[in-house]
């Protein structure tokens, strides 16, 4: 370690030190200044406490008063924002634009069902129960019938509904021949011509041809009809002939057949019918073999 000559170092420091003037002997000497003298010296050097700043004082009081108010306002704003995210907000209906509300479209099948029930063509329970022949007929005429008839009291609408019930009641989808049933044609044309011994026989539903378009004949033998005859057949009061032999029709003859006062021929042999016959067949050429 290098040794420093303290005397040389001290001399260099003293040579660079500024000149000072000692007080005259006897004026202060080695005596310390009193309090008043010290204050005067400090004041002369500008080392006293800073003068009070009035602007800073006002700002400090403003911060003390205003900051809590700002914090309170912010808390209230957050609360309102959270309340606005409620899962079930209350909507003022008066301010809702009508065009923005979803439109509920009522299915046409219910209009048909209500109309049919009101006219007592079918029971209200049956026509409103999905899966029944009455419901299937109402659904077909409402949504799938290509004729697109209006729902009204026209003869065509009524006969169309009744024959559709007949079709669905007797498992029409499995018939050997569809015979134009459920086509867009008038019900008077729901038939086909079958050849028998070089003679054309009209098989299906046919009308009297007098221009009134009333169904008078229901001739559908040996065509895989399976199920029960519906009560609605009794509403076709213009029927003169019903010939449904050699099928798989079961159950009994509906009581509504009492309304068929124009009926002259009823042929139902080679089916699975049972029960008691309605007491209406005195004037008919009745062939009923089970």
Token pair belonging to 179: 């015979």
**34-48, 127-141, 232-246, 260-274 — which is least confidently predicted?**
34-48
pLDDT for 175-201, tens place per residue? 999 999 999 999 999 999 998 787 889
Does residue 88 belong to any structural domain of this protein?
no
The CATH number given to whatever domain includes residue 211 is: 3.80.10.10
Please give the residue range of the domain that contains residue 243.
108-287
pLDDT for 112-160, tens place per residue? 999 999 999 999 999 999 999 999 999 999 999 999 999 999 999 999 9
Q: Per-residue confidence at 276, pLDDT binned at 50, 70, 90?
A: confident
Does residue 98 belong to any structural domain of this protein?
no
Token pair belonging to 155: 């003869």
Token pair belonging to 42: 């400090």
Does residue 99 belong to any structural domain of this protein?
no
Long-range contacts of 36-44 (CB under 8 A, 24+ apart): none
Does residue 181 belong to any structural domain of this protein?
yes
Does residue 142 belong to any structural domain of this protein?
yes
Tell me the C-alpha distance between 25 and 156, whole Å.
145
Does residue 1 belong to any structural domain of this protein?
no
Our CA dihedral for 241, 244, 249, 254, rounded to 10 degrees, sits at 0
Higher-pLDDT residue of 18, 73: 73
Q: Which residue has the tokens 């050849």?
A: 195
> For the chain, what is the domain count?
1
Does residue 261 belong to any structural domain of this protein?
yes
**15-19, 149-153, 204-208, 259-263 — which is least confidently predicted?**
15-19
pLDDT of residue 4: 46
């Amino acid at each position: 370690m290098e040794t420093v000559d303290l005397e040389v170092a001290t001399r260099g420091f003293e040579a660079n030190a500024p000149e000072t003037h000692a007080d005259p002997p006897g004026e202060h000497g080695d005596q310390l200044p009193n309090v008043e003298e010290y204050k005067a010296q400090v004041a002369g050097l500008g080392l006293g406490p800073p003068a009070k700043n009035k602007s800073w004082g006002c700002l400090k009081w403003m911060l003390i008063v205003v900051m809590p108010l700002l914090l309170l306002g912010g808390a209230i704003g957050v609360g309102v924002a959270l309340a606005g995210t409620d899962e079930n907000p209350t909507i003022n209906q008066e301010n809702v634009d009508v065009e923005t509300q979803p439109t509920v479209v009522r299915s046409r099948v219910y209009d048909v069902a209500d109309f049919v029930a009101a006219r007592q063509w079918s029971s209200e329970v049956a026509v409103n129960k999905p899966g029944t022949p009455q419901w299937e007929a109402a659904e077909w005429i409402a949504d799938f019938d290509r004729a697109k008839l209006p729902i009204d009291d026209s003869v065509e609408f009524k006969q169309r509904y009744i024959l559709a019930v007949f079709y669905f009641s007797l498992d029409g989808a499995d018939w050997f021949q569809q015979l134009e049933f459920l086509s867009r044609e008038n019900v008077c044309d729901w038939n086909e011509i079958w050849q028998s011994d070089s003679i054309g026989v009209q098989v299906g539903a046919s009308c009297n041809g007098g221009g009134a378009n009333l169904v008078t004949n229901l001739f559908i033998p040996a065509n895989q009809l399976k199920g029960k005859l519906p009560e609605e057949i009794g509403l076709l009061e213009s029927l003169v002939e019903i010939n449904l032999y050699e099928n798989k029709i079961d159950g009994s003859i509906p009581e509504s057949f009492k309304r068929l006062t124009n009926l002259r021929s009823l042929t139902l042999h080679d089916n699975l019918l049972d029960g008691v016959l309605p007491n209406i067949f005195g004037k008919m050429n009745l062939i009923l073999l089970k």
